[in-house]
Amino acid sequence: MSDSDKTSGTKPRVVVLGTGWSAVPLLKHIDTQKYEVVCVSPRNYFLMTPLLPSVSVGTVETRTVIESIRSLIGPRVKFIESHCINVDPKAKIITCISDGEQTVARGDNVKAVIAPSGRTDGASSRIIKDSARVRPEFQMKYDILVVAIGSENNTFNTPGVEEHAHFLKELLDARRIRSAISDAFESAMTPTQTVEERKRLLHFVIVGGGPTGVEFAAELADLVREDLQTYFPRLVANDVKITLIEALDHILSMMDKQISDYTERHFHRENIDVLMNTFVKEVKQREVIIQLKDSNELKSLPCSVVVWATGIKARSLTNKLREIIGLNIQSNRMGLLTDQYLRVKGIDDGSIFALGDCATIQTPKLVDRIQSLFEEADTEHRSALDLQQFRTLVEKKITEFPQLEIFSKSVEKAFTEADKEKSGYLTLAALRSTLEKADHKIRALPATAQVASQEGRYVADLLNQLTDTQLNHFEQQNLKPFRYKHMGSLAYVGGDEAVVDFTGSKPLLDIFKLKPMSGRSAAYLWKSFYLTEMFTGRTKTLLAFDWVRTHVFGRDISRY
Ligand code: NAD
């Protein structure tokens, strides 16, 4: 039996899958005197994902947004660069292989990996076989498993997306986009290009008006205005076009309406065409096919670079685990359903935790909690509340469940809907039925870095406090369940402007009465936030230098 097949016996072994937003805070804070900690991930660095749009146009350089996982966690945690492909919750064993490379059988059940085509040396196009990349498959036992593997891009099975569109989730995606933008401009300069072809080459399409799509469109508009205009003045004046396509009736729909409206007006000033109520049906090599809401007509938009940012879905390991656990327990939710301590539901001994994008936390049944709040608010014991009392109830409810933001946004609407008799009063039964309907929308926490990092820190603290590693007796041990504290949402919208939404961030709202912010002041907040969020002095310094360099010298537009 190899070293990894058994736990050391002296300390319980915690295996953490992932090196992202929830895994890193956990790894940094977990007590390694108490646990033997092993981290397994195909990525040996932490990636500052919110800065990927900046990397894709060269505002910020590649090495600025990554930090080696080993330098972040030190030798106290063992790191293995590998890809977990299976979990056996009964035997408490994970199976891992190397990531993304062709696996070649080498006999004796030992598998070695080589790069499928090797890497190419740019200058001479020689193929170099990577003999250093040999990773046998292995299995490892765990006492506690933390699944923090994030999510992947959701194409909603739209034809052509995998083949022709760029995603913006990994560092390689950002580098490819940077290269493709450069390619489009260099191709447009070829003397024999027709006007029509030049316009196609310089039409950049972004699909999805969530924060990823919006921030990329903003960075691209900055690149065009601040740098490409200098080097390609005629192309920029006559042919360049940026289009952002969104299926809903506004962009940044998860933020306050004022912010969506502001961003739409700002994008108009920045020459970004925003097509709302428009659905992308297919991506082809030289065009995207769109359909307007309430219309059967399909339209073609000739374009070159397409960036696909329509949201996320579960990774195959998450789906595999859901299958092992049994879909009846896990229902149709996207991630692994967890209890309030972030333990995966359906694992009887409570030995698997799930955090971040791959998890969906289940709060105690919302409507039951609301019933007790309703009774408290109903001081006159009439089993009915008027609008003012209802508003107070919602305010109170949001402090307890920040994820109810969606419901609070349409408070008056919810009241009118529930008050079917138009009596001006809302009965408990009517409120319950409205909440039941809204329940599926408001149960899950957003898939953000903020949620993931709070969850990672929480599980580290929870494991550190455990006196008894009986993981299914948390209630008796008086441990505090996870509570998410929303600190607001930020997005960069270009032209040195950003938007900040504090909706749902109750502590800040109460103390400072903060309103949604937009413009330059919001951009300073955005920049200070990311500068402080960078994990190390090295990346903080690199980021500050990159911003100054871009401001003084412009972006490097060469393709490499
Ligand atoms: P998203 O889910 O937030 O937005 C995707 C958008 O694409 C939606 O508005 C949807 O209506 C639209 N869409 C889907 N299919 C479409 C189609 N075929 N045609 C046109 N439009 C279509 O996705 P995201 O922006 O990738 O973000 C993913 C997650 O990461 C979210 O939870 C988000 O909040 C988070 N995130 C946050 C930040 C930030 O706070 N600054 C930045 C990036 C990502």
Q: What is the DSSP string of 157-225?
A: T-TTHHHH-B--SSHHHHHHHHHHHHHHHHHHTSTT--HHHHHHHTEEEEE--SHHHHHHHHHHHHHII
In this structure, what token pair is assigned to residue 305?
A: 């670079």
Residue 274, helix vs strand vs coil: strand
Contact 260, 249 (CB under 8 A): no
- Find out whether the beta carbon of 447 lies less than 6 Å from any atom of ligand 1: yes
For atom 5 of ligand 1, the residue with the nearest CA is: 310
Q: Which atom of ligand 1 is nearest to the CA of 492?
A: 41
Q: How far is the CA of 490 from the centre of ligand 1 (A)?
A: 14
**How far is 27 from 73, CA to CA, in rounded Å?**
7
CB 542 within 8 Å of CB 67 = no
Mutate to test the pocket of ligand 1, among 275, 278, 448 (most ligand atoms within 8 A of CB): 448
Q: In this structure, are residues 444 and 403 in contact, taking their beta carbons and an 8 Å threshold?
A: yes
DSSP string across 448-479: -HHHHHHHHHHHHHHHHH-SS--TT-TTTTTP
CB 87 within 8 A of CB 15: no
| 248 Cβ below 6 A of ligand 1 | yes
pLDDT, residue 378, reads 72
Distance 372 CA to ligand 1 centre (A): 35
Query: Which ligand 1 atom is the nearest neighbour of the CA of 208?
Result: 7
State the pLDDT at residue 508: 59
Q: What is the pLDDT of residue 425?
A: 75
3-class secondary structure, 69: helix
Is the Cβ–Cβ distance between 35 and 14 less than 8 Å? Answer: yes
pLDDT digits 0-9 by tens, 392-439: 776 665 555 554 554 555 556 666 766 666 777 777 777 666 666 655
Nearest partner of 220 among 269, 264, 178, judged by Cα: 178
Cα–Cα distance for residue pair 74/72, rounded to 1 Å: 6
Q: How far is residue 253 CA from its own chain's centroid?
A: 16
For the Cβ of 50 lying below 6 angstroms from any atom of ligand 1, the answer is yes
Convert the pLDDT of each residue in 100-158 to its tens digit: 443 333 333 333 333 333 343 444 556 666 677 777 889 999 999 999 999 999 999 99
- Tell me the ipTM for this assembly: 0.95
pTM of the model: 0.83
Neighbours of 560 (CB within 10 A): 8
Q: Which residues contact 138 (CB under 8 A, 6 or more apart)?
A: 2, 4, 82, 95, 96
Token pair, residue 66, equals: 């990554």
418 lines ligand 1 (CB under 6 A): no
Check residue 343 and report its DSSP letter.
B
pLDDT confidence of residue 447: 86
Q: Which helix (H) or strand (E) holds 549?
A: helix 537-553
Q: How far does the centroid of ligand 1 lie from the alpha carbon of residue 310, in Å? A: 5
- Beta-ladder partners of 88: 93
Is the Cβ atom of 253 under 6 angstroms away from ligand 1? yes
**Per-residue CA distances from 405 to 258, 262, 341, 446, 548 (Å):** 15, 20, 22, 11, 37
Ligand 1 pocket, 446 CB below 6 A? yes
Note the pLDDT of residue 104. Answer: 34
* pLDDT, position 114: 35
Q: How far is CA 298 from CA 287, 321, 553, in A?
A: 12, 39, 44
Tokens at residue 300, please?
Answer: 């073609």
**Using CA atoms, how far apart are residues 546 and 560, in angstroms rounded to an integer?**
18
Q: Whose CA is nearest to atom 4 of ligand 1?
A: 210
CA atoms within 13 A on the CB side of 84: 30
Residue nearest to atom 26 of ligand 1 (CA): 311
CB atoms within 10 A of CB 273: 15
Using a 10 angstrom Cβ sphere, with 0-12 exposed, 13-18 middle and 19 or more buried, the burial of residue 237 is: exposed
Residue 456: closest CA among 89, 5, 157, 37:
37
pLDDT, residue 131, reads 73
Which residues of the chain carry a pLDDT beneath 50? 1, 3, 100-123, 332, 403, 406, 440-442
Contact 24/148 with Cβ under 8 angstroms?
no
| 166 Cα to the center of ligand 1, angstroms | 15
- Measure Cα distances from 342 to 105, 337, 399, 401, 530 in Å: 38, 8, 20, 16, 27
Going from the N-terminus, what domains does the chain have, and what CATH number goes with each?
Answer: 3-152+313-362+449-465 (3.50.50.100), 161-310+488-553 (3.50.50.100), 376-442 (1.10.238.10)
**pLDDT on residue 412:** 62
Are the CB atoms for 188 and 289 separated by under 8 Å? Answer: no
The CB of 495 under 6 Å from ligand 1? The reply is no
How far is the centre of ligand 1, averaged over its atoms, from the C-alpha of 479 (Å)? 35
State whether residue 238 is helix, strand or coil: helix
Q: Is the CB of 247 under 6 A from ligand 1?
A: yes
Verify whether ligand 1 is closer than 6 Å to residue 444 (CB atom).
Answer: no
Residue 253 to residue 255: CA distance in whole angstroms: 5
Could you tell me if the CB of 279 is within 6 A of ligand 1?
yes
Is residue 526 lining ligand 1, measured as CB closer than 6 Å? no
Q: Atom of ligand 1 at shortest distance to CA of 248?
A: 11
Q: Rounded distance, CA 53 to CA 171, Å? A: 10
d(CA 326, CA 340): 20
